[in-house]
Chains A and B, each alone.
Chain A
Amino acid sequence: MAKILIIEDDKFLRELISQKVAREGYEVLDAVDGESGLKMAQAESPDLILLDLILPGMDGFEVLSRIKGDEKTGKVPVVIISNLGQKDDVDKGMAMGAADYLIKAHFTPGEIVEKIASVLSSGKDSAAAA
């Protein structure tokens, strides 16, 4: 069973997405800010991380760069879920190594779950090919 780490500061959004992801049969971990999210990423080695960008304290871009910069977590696919929808933000996130960038207002939890499945399976494909 794949393990998904959700880093999202909004309690309600975090719960909604956690429940949706858990319902699909994934194991769910969640963190309310960047610092605790990073710790969890290192301690729990999740298979995928859902990352919000606007977080209290360390922001999502910083979290992303630390995840990617750490050899223990560098290979874990990170899907950004944010309301920052500007092309600049999307480009920046993708350039920093995000697997995908979902704008909250344009995606529903169901679609996010589909995205998780497709990112996980493409990861498996490339692992198998390697």
Chain B
Amino acid sequence: MIFSRFSINGAVRFTGALLFLASLVSIYVAVSFAPVVALAFVAGVNIFAVSFLVFSVTRGFLLPLREIRNLVAGVKNAGFSGRVKEHGSSEMRDLARAFNIMMANAAEAQEKEREIERMKTEFVSLAAHQLRNPLSVIRWTLQVMLEGDYGPVPKKQRELLQKTFESNESMIRLINDLLDVSRIEEGRYLYEPAFKDIVAVVNSMADKYKEEAERRGVALLVQEVSGGVPLVYIDEEKIRLAIQNLLENALRYTPRGGRVTIELSHDTKEVRVAVRDTGMGIPESQQRRVFQKFFRATNAKSLDSEGSGLGLYLVKNIIQAHGGSVEFQTQEGKGSVFTLRVPLGKIESAPDAAGIRGISKGA
């Protein structure tokens, strides 16, 4: 270090022409002047001194500066954990030291922020777990009363008990959704994919919601647009949850006499499951926020108080984890269609792919 600093002074004395100001600007000036200076020296002064000058500038300023630049460029991927070596000229050492302190502070701030985020997620998860017990107690109590275990229940009271039971049910659903969201955010939402027949999954989901659709006076249909849908590499439980969320939304926001259709189609790249409804749609001004946590369209909110606003956030996370995407088209007052696109890519890379691709389901 001392050597390089000394040599700069020496070089300056040799040329007797250039003054080095200890600022970043001057480094570049020095570099751009280097050829000029070199020419002067070739004209007969001292070639050795020039190479020495270049060498010193490089060692004293350019190398340390390049290290800082590289570290800054790497922050995006590597975070604030890196430090630069404090070497070069005294100004560069000061700069490096200050830079390292700044990096340390930034790392600390980031760690604190992560800690708060972790605590928040943990709190939600703990609170949700703790809430499940009392909610179960309420559920059980209302249920045994409704079943008449403690004597007959007059009609008006039954109605109120039934409504309370339903509110409690939606609270349980909210808690379950919150637990799923906190698992996603903690990275604990684990996927166990296997090759599954998505046609069977869709049909069984449609069966599950048949009764509710009838109760709501909405027609529920499954339409296989393209026959022979191949097996897909999915976590069946999660895909069921995604389809369930789309179906519940479609049924909830489609008026009596409407229609909900699940359309299945595929090509060589992907399988698409679209849930189409003739419901209220989503106002244009709010369409950007559809997949955000706790988003609920204003027209939906005025209709009922059931939704948690977490469903589509979950759907998006689930489908993205499968390497797919979710799209929607909607028109206020006319209806919506939400499409899950699940790629077939993984099937081709699987060892037993040949047999699987051969399997086909009748349309």
CB within 8 Å of B: which residues of A?
Answer: 10, 12-13, 16-17, 19-20, 23, 83, 85, 87, 104-105, 108-110
Contact = CB atoms under 8 A, between A and B. Distances in A.
Contacts of A10: 133, 137
B283 to A, nearest CB: 34
Contact of B132 (A19, A105, A110): A105
Contacts of A87: 192, 237
A16 B133 contact: no
Given A19-B149, A105-B172, A13 B136 contact: yes
Contacts of A109: 140, 143-144
Interface in B125-157: 129, 132-133, 135-137, 139-141, 143-144, 147, 149
Interface of B: 129, 132-133, 135-137, 139-141, 143-144, 147, 149, 172, 175-176, 192, 237
Nearest to A23: B149
A12 B139 CA distance: 12
B143 A110 contact: yes
B141 A16 contact: yes
A13 B140 contact: yes
B121 to A, nearest CB: 16
Contact of A83 (B133, B141, B143): B133
Contacts of B135: 105
Contact of A20 (B129, B136, B139, B149): B149
A16 B129 contact: no
18 contacts: A10-B133, A10-B137, A13-B140, A16-B137, A16-B141, A16-B144, A20-B144, A23-B149, A83-B129, A83-B133, A83-B136, A104-B132, A104-B136, A105-B172, A108-B140, A108-B143, A110-B143, A110-B147
Given A83-B133, A105-B172, A16 B140 contact: yes
A56 to B, nearest CB: 14
Contacts of A17: 140
B321 to A, nearest CB: 15
Given A13-B136, A87-B237, 14 more contacts: A12-B137, A13-B137, A17-B140, A23-B149, A83-B129, A83-B136, A87-B192, A104-B132, A104-B136, A104-B140, A108-B139, A108-B143, A109-B144, A110-B143
B239 to A, nearest CB: 14
Contacts of B143: 108-110
A100 B149 CA distance: 25
Nearest to B132: A83
Contacts of B139: 105, 108
B300 to A, nearest CB: 25
B147 A104 contact: no
Nearest to B237: A87
A20 B141 CA distance: 11
Nearest to B150: A19
A12 B129 CA distance: 18
Contacts of B133: 10, 13, 83, 104
A81 B340 CA distance: 35
B152 to A, nearest CB: 15
Nearest to A10: B133
